[in-house]
Amino acid sequence: MKIAFFDTKPYDRAGFEKYSKDTGLEIKYFETRLNPDTVSLAQGCGGVCVFVNDDVGAETVDRLCEIGVRLIALRCAGYNNVDLGRCAGRIRVVRVPAYSPYAVAEHAIALLLTSIRRIHKAYIRTKDFNFSLSGLTGFDLHGKTVGVIGTGKIGRIFIDICRGFGMNVIAYDKFPAEGRGINYVGLDEMFAKSDIISLHCPLTPETYHIIGAEAIERLKTGAVIINTSRGALIDAEALLEGIKRRKVGAACLDVYEEESDIFFQDFSGHIMSDDVLARLISMPNVIVTSHQAFLTEEALDSIAKTTVENILAVERNEDCENEVNCSGGKAGD
Ligand code: NAD
């Protein structure tokens, strides 16, 4: 099978070359993203391989079907960018449900520690031989309460790490995990009690803006919000307001609501057109990384291995355990 690989970055290729070697798979790499304007690049290919910000909406799916593409291979876990209903019965969709949940959980902790111990400030100061400590006072994690929304693979690892710090963990999940000793509470209680909130649930119509103006109002003053899941879980404008009003103590964001035209690209030297993002980044208590949480050697290797296996299974017309049920049978992300 020939695969059109969209949104290629230099770090993607090594793993895919390694695992596709000697399989008969031919991969055509394109730097551009998949969207209705670029879909014709997949002409002659049996499948497309896409990432989190490719546009696989209804129009793209229709065009893919028209040109004979039979497979959409997501090299990520989330599939909120794919119109599954449009794919049902026409085109198969596979994904990588887990690659390194440690990568994402550890990145969430890295952001948290950087933020609350002001490492981002200290790094810049000492580079400039400024050894003053003024304004760098942080707080201990030990004894603090962290609220975790979504206790799947990543959320549970995040919880384990937090327990190692001696934190008190409370959690909310629509489908609580049995027998794992997790203290589940309702969202109201979580918002009222948490010093830190970390998001690890998928983006669905139900979780869209789960942190919006109303939720922020119910938070403890000074609460820290971490989002390494999907940008639209947070209403970015409401977050900015919460920060300006000093209600939110700090925000650690690896994802952003309107990231698709911005993240993964170099805009240094350009005028940033997204005012909300620019204002958030200008805040001393906001740290933004550009959807980087997955980016470890282990995760990249695992993504390439599983994606190639998924593609080969579909090519052989076999069942694939990582196939997304486009008729709506499979919940979550
Ligand atoms: P997972 O499927 O193992 O866990 C998701 C959890 O969310 C499940 O326990 C599920 O029951 C829960 N959930 C579903 N609907 C919910 C709702 N309405 N309210 C509360 N909880 C709900 O997924 P995971 O592997 O732990 O990944 C979590 C998220 O992390 C993914 O959805 C993805 O968006 C994100 N992610 C981000 C990156 C990154 O690089 N930043 C990388 C991988 C995954």
Residue 265: predicted pLDDT: 87
Nearest CA to ligand 1 atom 30: 229
Instruction: Find the mean pLDDT for residues 191-210.
Output: 97
Which pLDDT score, from 0 to 100, does residue 17 have? Answer: 96
Query: What's residue 327's pLDDT?
Result: 83
Q: Is the pLDDT of residue 118 over 70?
A: yes
Is the pLDDT score of 247 beyond 80? yes
Q: Is the pLDDT of residue 333 over 70?
A: no
179 — pLDDT class (breaks 50, 70, 90): confident
Q: Give Cα separations from 114 to 19, 34, 119, 222, 228 (angstroms).
A: 36, 34, 5, 16, 15
pLDDT value at 332 more than 70: no
Residue whose CB lies within 8 A of the most ligand 1 atoms, among 52, 159, 174, 264, for a mutation test: 174
273-328 per-position pLDDT tens digit: 999 999 999 999 999 999 999 999 999 999 999 999 999 999 999 999 999 999 86
Per-residue pLDDT at 329:
45
Residues of the chain with CATH 3.40.50.720: 2-99+297-315, 101-288
56 Cα: distance to centroid of ligand 1 (angstroms): 20
Query: Amino acid letter at 72?
Result: I
Atom of ligand 1 nearest to the CA of 175: 11
Question: 101-288 maps to which CATH number?
Answer: 3.40.50.720
Residues having CB closer than 6 A to ligand 1 are 77-78, 98, 101, 104, 149-155, 172-175, 200-202, 204, 206-207, 228-230, 254-255, 291, 293-294, 332-333
Q: What's the pLDDT at 282?
A: 97
| Lowest-confidence segment of 77-86, 182-191, 208-217 by average pLDDT | 77-86
* Best mutation site among 229, 259, 294, 303 for ligand 1 pocket (most ligand atoms within 8 Å of CB): 229
Ligand 1 atom index nearest CA of 332: 14
Model pLDDT for residues 5-17, shown as the tens digit of each residue: 999 999 999 999 9
pLDDT at 260 over 90: no
330 pLDDT tier (thresholds 50, 70, 90): very low
pLDDT single digits (tens) 23-39: 999 999 999 999 999 99
Q: Which CATH architecture has domain 2-99+297-315?
A: 3-Layer(aba) Sandwich (3.40)
Q: Choose the residue to mutate in 9, 52, 154 for probing ligand 1, maximizing ligand atoms within 8 Å of C-beta.
A: 154
- Count of other CB atoms within 10 angstroms of residue 135: 9
pLDDT of residue 316: 94
How far apart are the CA of 152 and the centre of ligand 1, in A? 6
Q: What is the mean pLDDT of the chain?
A: 95
Confidence (pLDDT) at 84: 96
